[in-house]
Amino acid sequence: MSRALYVGLMSGTSLDGVDAVLVDFSGARPRVLASSRVPYDAALRAELAALVAPGENELERAALAANALARIYARAVEALDFAAHGGKAAVRAVGCHGQTVRHRPERGYTIQIGNAALLAELTGITVVADFRSRDVAAGGQGAPLVPAFHAAVFASPTEPRVVLNLGGIANLTWLPAGGAVSGFDTGPGNCLLDAWAERHLGTAHDEGGAWAAAGTAIAPLLARLLAEPYFGRPPPKSTGRELFDLRWLAEKLSGKEEPPDVQATLVELTARSVAQAIAAHCPRVARVIACGGGTKNATLLRRLEALVAPVPLETSDAYGLAPQLVEATAFAWLAREAIEGRAASLPAATGARAPRVLGAVYPGKAG
């Protein structure tokens, strides 16, 4: 069987950088042939974080940031080992999620920047981007987009499963054995943990969750955080940094808390909100499969394991996909579905009127 090669690019709400994968879809399961990662520099991270909220001259700033992102995406693509797999000419398309700077489906829009046209020019490869807008136009949330991919890779005909993505925002996919697939954002994943660590440690994240492990969760603060109405809303639903940011956290603080204790409380917030969502919406789940950057946080994983027990929690490594690369692989898969003209959205996850083909296509230099 001839190979079907696609590239996937993912830069999530953690704002830490871009993951790229070269994926072969010709087999029963996707096979990652090569991967690369390009981190964001501090200035770009700060600009992307600032663009989440309205600001001065934001249209020009967003356009310039989109150009900078396209160049970083191109670097990540060029860092992949194409030579061992037939060269770039063997790649049918790049799936580029872009960087979300505004997600307001309740107002009819979602914005992911990255200048896909420039990326197509820089790489010479066809680019598929802007995956969320068509679902929003069809009345959906535009998120989460990966449940269809999770179903294709992780579903079992006999075992009900949850796939849990611990990105900046945490989201889950419910894969009942033989039933309808659904999914939704549970709330903050790493976004608050990373922002609090950056403010107090000067680092992009709390390495391994060690700082949180040195603190103690504050029960009254946790109760105030969990009182956020979003957690009680029924799915389909999605959220982002527009809600869960340091301003939201500051409103809940008394000002007397020790920073490590706040970090421990934020770990508990992510773990509790995820566990409560699973308990409420995933009856008789037999297995939780975790992926995303949050799987590197050992403190968070320990709390999740304890809260979902006796249901086993494992990472996507057990299924041949590194946790950090699952979402990038998903966007390679979404690019393939768009190129093939197949609908890839799940109305049960996004709330759209019907499935839609997702993504806008920017042909490579060869057209």
pLDDT digits (tens, 9 = 90+) for 303-328: 999 999 999 999 999 999 999 999 99
Q: How far apart are CA 177 and CA 162, in angstroms?
A: 11
CATH class of 147-311: alpha beta
Closest CA to 288 of 308, 267, 268, 317: 308
Please provide residue 188's backbone torsions phi and psi, each rounded to the nearest 5 degrees.
-65, 140
Q: What is the band of 178 on the pLDDT scale with cuts at 50, 70, 90?
A: confident
- 259 sits in the region (left: phi over 0; alpha: psi -120 to 50; else beta) called alpha
User: Looking at residue 28, what is its pLDDT?
Assistant: 87
Position 1 pLDDT exceeds 90: no
The dihedral formed by the CA atoms of 77, 79, 314 and 30, expressed in degrees to the nearest 10: 60
Quick one: average pLDDT of 143-152? 94
Position 174 pLDDT exceeds 80: yes
pLDDT digits (tens, 9 = 90+) for 38-57: 999 999 999 998 998 899 99
pLDDT digits (tens, 9 = 90+) for 262-285: 999 999 999 999 999 999 999 999
Q: How far apart are CA 240 and CA 245, in angstroms?
A: 9
Q: Which CATH architecture has domain 5-141+325-362?
A: 2-Layer Sandwich (3.30)
HEC letters along the chain: CCCCEEEEEECCCCCCEEEEEEEECCCCCCEEEEEEEEECCHHHHHHHHHCCCCCCCHHHHHHHHHHHHHHHHHHHHHCCCCHHHCCHHHEEEEEECCEEEEEEHHHCEEEEECCHHHHHHHHCCCEEECCCHHHHHCCCCCCCCCHHHHHHHHCCCCCCEEEEEECCEEEEEEECCCCCCEEEEEEECCHHHHHHHHHHHCCCCCHHHHHHHCCCCCHHHHHHHHCCHHHHCCCCCCCCCCCCCHHHHHCCCCCCCCHHHHHHHHHHHHHHHHHHHHHHHCCCCCEEEEECHHHHCHHHHHHHHHHHCCCCEEEHHHHCCCHHHHHHHHHHHHHHHHHCCCCCCCHHHHCCCCCCCCCEEECCCCC
- Percent of the chain exceeding pLDDT 70 equals 99
Asked if 275 contacts 308 with a C-beta cutoff of 8 angstroms, the reply is yes
CATH 3.30.420.40: which residues of the chain?
5-141+325-362, 147-311
Q: How far apart are CA 272 and CA 142, in angstroms?
A: 25
pLDDT digits (tens, 9 = 90+) for 328-365: 999 999 999 999 999 999 999 999 999 999 999 999 97
Position 366 pLDDT exceeds 70: no
Position 155 pLDDT exceeds 60: yes
Position 367 pLDDT exceeds 80: no
For residue 357, how many other CB atoms are within 10 A of its CB?
14
Closest CA to 7 of 66, 74, 101: 74
Q: Which residue has the higher pLDDT, 241 or 160?
A: 160
